[in-house]
A and B are shown apart, each in its own frame.
Chain A
């Protein structure tokens, strides 16, 4: 804590004005439009950038001071964790698989966010917006680094973390977060802020960083909870940037309202789909539970998001399209995602498993309207098969949604027994979608989404094998060739947790007695 007693010469508001507006200028050698070519073409009309407010009024000097303090605290914890072999104190080695998803799917997004905010921080003509975006760009780089540092300790002991940035560009399920962010970054600066700062950070990231990180603490992972909350402390500022940007656009010109509404519709749905994996992490990958995905959704999306949209109604903004369907999904998506990953466990660099009876009971209690009826019998069947030595691994390639790139496993609104399929035709080709939301997004910008790098299509086109591989050879195993191209360590990074090297090592290091009859149920498909 800061114990210096300094008498400030300027109040917070004056200091903020002096350190942002006071340091900006309009260009004279070149016209402003040429220097800032990107902040007009989206159609957002800005009449007075002076109206942009950063309610935190954080100036660069204060920013560096408090960020430095956060870093010192964080690294003290990470070091103590490493020195005390904290990895052995986590509740259960299955939990580590949530960290694998974190380093594979979330951490690379921090880096993408760093780049995205650096870009918009350069391209807004308003100084207040530029300063806020530049701070966020530095924050995101910090998150990428602190997450990498914290998880690198686990990488010394566990599989599935050694190649995250290579996988990010290749592995099928990582195309979901990657395409989300590339979609945002290839929009204009106002769409980017609506996508990332507002729809994702304000409406949805609490669901990732708050209950999940509290869960990490509950599972004995002080390292993760500390980087998580340290990152989330910046997130408060990011969320504020998101809501301020929305209010600013809406107040500047009524013609902005329909544009902003369209972006909110699009990015709420994109973000909701992306968070499916967080839903699964929360319900299935935290051995000691804090709250269910459904409870977190009710607290952070329904209650808080509801309050937000009620407040924004005065500008003519309504709830995002698909909101009701997303709320209905709270009973289903975590279970549907876990089912998909359980079946594709040969092809993803983390382990899956059937929850224990105690965990199944917890899910039954938390999901009284869906779990026993639709999901529990399936998991019990999988366990029966696995215990009989027939752990099933799907080796076929699933159809992907062209927009969100998630395999088609979501069900019809109102009927959780029927897979939801939608399609549309563009330029003579047929495109497939997981939902009305994703189909609608495609139809708004088909020329963008026809360029999607869909992993399954790419595999079928032969783009996901190492050079020299001949798919026409007799006995060619396409999945093995793809995993080789991923540089996935087959037998160590993938398959069931039961029988995995992680499971054996963790038990050995902790001195736990081997569980009778539990080993070697996994193995090749």
Chain B
């Protein structure tokens, strides 16, 4: 429980594999406030308040087209309100 007034964290976790790597790298590039924590088989990215996954950044990493819904394949879990369109996927808490 947050006993002091802090910004709630959102998170998103992926299987720690080669398909997820460019997604993770893109998230870390687009969200300087985020940090990645690795445990066996898993990478969990935490960010205060909100986090964005941008298609364009992933495509820059891989050099090929990416459909954001592909993240479902290696997604493990997430937390926060989701908003998704063709170009970006965001997680946020309202306060």
Contact = CB atoms under 8 A, between A and B. Distances in A.
Given A56-B84, A290-B39, A290-B40, A307 B79 contact: yes
Nearest to B44: A210
A66 B11 contact: no
A233 B85 contact: no
B94 A311 contact: yes
B78 interface: yes
A235 B42 contact: no
B42 A11 contact: no
Contacts of B78: 236, 239-240
16 contacts: A1-B70, A3-B65, A55-B82, A66-B72, A70-B72, A70-B73, A217-B42, A218-B40, A233-B76, A236-B78, A240-B78, A291-B39, A307-B9, A307-B10, A307-B93, A311-B93
Interface in B24-76: 39-42, 44, 64-65, 67, 69-70, 72-76
Interface string A304-331: 1011101100100000000000010000
B41 A62 contact: no
Interface string A164-175: 000000000000
B77 A209 contact: yes
A215 B40 contact: yes
- Report the 7 A-B pairs with minimum CB-CB distance, sorted nearest first: A307-B8, A217-B41, A55-B82, A217-B40, A218-B40, A214-B39, A306-B1
A455 B19 CA distance: 47
Given A307-B79, A310-B2, A2 B84 contact: no
Nearest to A323: B1
Given A311-B94, A327-B1, A8 B41 contact: no
Nearest to A11: B86
Contacts of B72: 56, 58, 66, 70, 233, 236-237
Interface string A212-236: 0111111000000100010011011
A229 B82 contact: no
Contacts of A388: none
Nearest to B39: A214
A133 interface: no
A206 interface: yes
A243 interface: yes
A225 B40 CA distance: 9
A303 interface: yes
Contact of A213 (B9, B41, B79, B84): B41
Contact of B93 (A70, A229, A310): A310
Contacts of B82: 55-56, 240
B79 A210 contact: no
A310 B8 contact: yes
Interface in A1-41: 1-3, 5, 8, 11-13
B62 to A, nearest CB: 9
B69 A62 contact: yes
A66 B73 contact: yes
Contacts, number: 117
Contacts of A426: none
A302 interface: yes
A304 B79 contact: yes
A11 B68 CA distance: 12
A311 B79 CA distance: 12
B77 A308 contact: no
Contacts of B11: 304
B67 A2 contact: yes
A306 B2 contact: yes
Contacts of B44: 210
Nearest to A56: B84
Contacts of A239: 77-79
Contacts of A215: 40
A57 B80 CA distance: 16
A57 B13 contact: no
Contacts of B65: 3, 5
Given A1-B70, A214-B40, 10 more contacts: A55-B82, A55-B83, A62-B69, A210-B13, A236-B77, A237-B72, A290-B40, A291-B39, A307-B80, A310-B93
A57 B84 contact: yes
Contact of A306 (B8, B10, B84, B95): B8
A210 B73 contact: no
B70 A2 contact: yes
Given A214-B41, A229-B41, A302-B1, A11 B74 contact: no
Nearest to B11: A304
Contacts of A240: 78, 82
A73 interface: yes
A233 B73 contact: yes
Contacts of A66: 69-70, 72-73
B12 to A, nearest CB: 8
A174 B11 CA distance: 33
